[in-house]
Each structure stands twice: as C-alpha cells, then as structure tokens.
C-alpha cells in the first residue's frame, strides 16, 4: 500500500469505524492511560503487561471498532521492521552480568549476555504494546475530534492548528514525492549511484519548492474564506459516559496490580 493510499485509509477509518460516534474523551483517556502503563511496565521489566495491552487494544481495534485487518497490519509494517533491527542490535551488543554465549574472534571475545536479550525482548514487547495503543486512537478518532479535545484542555490554539496542517500536508507531500519518484523511474532514472544521488537532490529541491508554493496557495485560499487566525469547526461531540470512565480507571488499576505482581520478571 502506497503512502497516499495509507493516508486515505487511515482518515476514512477514523471517520467511519464503529466507534467513530463515541466520545473522543473516552477513547483518548483509554489510549493514553494504556500507553503510560505500557511504558511504566518497561521500566519495571513487567513484560506481560505490554502483551496484555497489545491483545486488548488489537481486539478493540479490529473487533469492536471494525477496522480493516489489512490496514491495521500495514500500520505495523515499517515500525515493526525498525523495532526488530534495533532490538537485535541491543541483544547482541548490550547487557551485563551472566553471559549467554561467547564467540571468539581474532581480535576480541564477543560476549552475548542474558540481560541484553532480556532487555531487547522487553523493549520489543513494550514498543509493540505502545504502538497498538496509539493505533487504536489514530484509527478510531478523527483529527477534528482530537483538535477539539486539545482546545477543550486549553492547549494553545497555534499548536492545535499547526498539528492539523502538519497532519494534512505531510501525507500530501509524501504523495508528491512518490509521484516525482515514479516520474524519474519512467525516464530511466536511477541507473547508477551517482545518478541516484543527483536525482535525490533534485527531488528534495523540487519538493521544497512545491512546499513553499502549496503553503502560499493554502494561505490565499484560507484568506479568501475569511481566515482570521483561527480554524473553526463544529465543537460538538458526544459527552463521555461516567460508567466508561470508571471502567477504564478500574482497568488501569488492574494493570497496575499486574505490574507489581510481575515486577522484575525478565523474559529469560
């Protein structure tokens, strides 16, 4: 799936999922509290907690919100690849204490520690759990609802509007970059390393120019529609149910109890 297609699918899911009409306060409170607990479990080496949160958030996203499975999997592809590479590096080159194995090299003895592998696995589970919490929020809550929520909690207006514009245009420029790259390939570009370097520099320069042009066009269009320094939207969304907030708090308390029960229990 291309970046532009991914943006369209993510945006469509945020507006059309089965939980779209639910209060963004409830969804945001659940996602952020679960994220904080997931990060806290990493420092406590309670690797079971991120696994539990990953299963719950994935179940809510796919089962309750009815998000398409292929979209959810596509969201995980790139971050999972980077996480695996990072964790392999941590497992092989970090750690102290009891060694798991030693490899004799001509210039040194390479030691792989159990603590390094345990650290890598804990980080992997924690990051995957954290991503599932964030993806639950992203795929079930629209940027409009999030911006209204940020204004309700008195986040500065300029930061909220910047977030909206960045969310909109980062994917648009990714699409422009993809179009330019396709045009270069159709013109038999990228046949050598020097040509690739030159084409990347041309792509970056042209994308910068297109960014400035698009910014000017956007500003003119907003002024033509009566822009006075604020981006307005209908500030109406469902109020959070007290029972749901109470259930989330009870859930968080249970997760905290699990963290203490599994404190300092490593993977290996």
One domain for residues 15 and 27: yes
Convert the pLDDT of each residue in 208-242 to its tens digit.
Answer: 887 778 778 877 887 787 777 676 666 666 778 88
pLDDT of res. 153: 82
Domain count within the chain: 2
Q: Are residues 246 and 189 located together in one domain of the fold?
A: no
The answer to whether residues 187 and 248 belong to one domain is no
- Contacts of residues 167-170 at CB distance under 8 Å and 24 or more positions apart, as own/partner, are 167/143, 168/143, 169/214
- What average pLDDT does the segment 92-120 reach? 75
The stretch 194-198 carries a mean pLDDT of: 74
Assess contact for 24 and 149: CB atoms under 8 A: yes
DSSP for 48-73, please give it: HHHHHHHHHHHHIIIIIS---HHHHH
Q: Are residues 4 and 67 in the same domain?
A: yes
Do 251 and 133 fall within a single domain? yes
Pairwise CA distance, residues 110 & 101, whole Å:
9
Same structural domain for residues 204 and 88? no
Q: Cβ distance 252 to 53 under 8 Å? A: no
* CB hemisphere CA count around 253 (13 angstroms): 6
132 and 149 share a domain? no
pTM of the predicted model as reported, rounded to 2 decimal places: 0.79
Q: Which domain holds residue 170?
A: 143-237
Read off the pLDDT of residues 66-78 as tens digits, 9 standing for 90 and up: 998 888 888 888 8
Q: Give me the torsion for CA of 16, 21, 26, 32, rounded to 10°.
A: 20
pLDDT tens digits along 129-143:
999 999 999 999 888
Same domain for 31 and 152, yes or no, is: no
| Structure-token pair, residue 109 | 């003895």
Q: Which residue shows structure tokens 């749901």?
A: 244
Beta bridge partners of 111: 102
* 121 and 183 in a common domain: no
Note whether 123 and 1 are same-domain residues: yes
Question: Are 195 and 251 part of one and the same domain?
Answer: no
The percentage of residues in the chain with a pLDDT greater than 70, rounded to a whole number, is 88
128 or 218, higher pLDDT: 128
- Please tell me which of 185-194, 226-235, 252-261 the model is most confident about, judged by mean pLDDT: 252-261
Length of the chain: 268
Q: How confident is the model at residue 192 (pLDDT cuts 50, 70, 90)?
A: low
Q: Please check whether residues 96 and 161 belong to one and the same domain.
A: no
């Amino acid at each position: 799936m291309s970046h532009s297609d991914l943006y369209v699918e993510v945006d469509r899911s945020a507006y059309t999922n089965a939980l779209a009409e639910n209060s963004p306060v409830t969804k945001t409170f659940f996602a952020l509290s679960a994220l904080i607990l997931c990060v806290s479990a990493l420092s406590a080496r309670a690797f079971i907690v991120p696994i539990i949160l990953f299963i719950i958030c994935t179940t809510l996203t796919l089962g309750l919100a009815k998000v398409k499975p292929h979209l959810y999997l596509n969201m995980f592809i790139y971050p999972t690849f980077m996480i695996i590479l990072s964790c392999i590096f941590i497992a092989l080159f970090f750690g102290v204490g009891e060694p798991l194995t030693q490899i004799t090299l001509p210039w040194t003895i390479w030691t792989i520690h159990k603590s390094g592998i345990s650290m890598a696995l804990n980080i992997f589970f924690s990051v995957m759990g954290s991503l599932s919490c964030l993806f639950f929020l992203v795929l079930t809550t629209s940027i409009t609802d999030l911006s209204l929520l940020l204004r309700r909690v008195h986040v500065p207006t300029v930061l909220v509007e910047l977030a909206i514009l960045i969310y909109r245009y980062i994917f648009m420029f990714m699409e422009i970059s993809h179009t330019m790259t396709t045009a270069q390939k159709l013109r038999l570009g990228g046949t050598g390393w020097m040509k690739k370097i030159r084409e990347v520099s041309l792509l970056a320069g042209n994308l910068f120019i297109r960014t400035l042009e698009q910014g000017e066009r956007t500003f003119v269009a907003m002024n033509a529609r009566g822009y006075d320094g604020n981006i307005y939207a209908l500030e109406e969304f469902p109020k959070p149910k007290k029972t749901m907030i109470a259930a989330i708090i009870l859930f968080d308390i249970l997760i905290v109890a699990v963290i203490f029960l599994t404190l300092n229990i490593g993977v290996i």
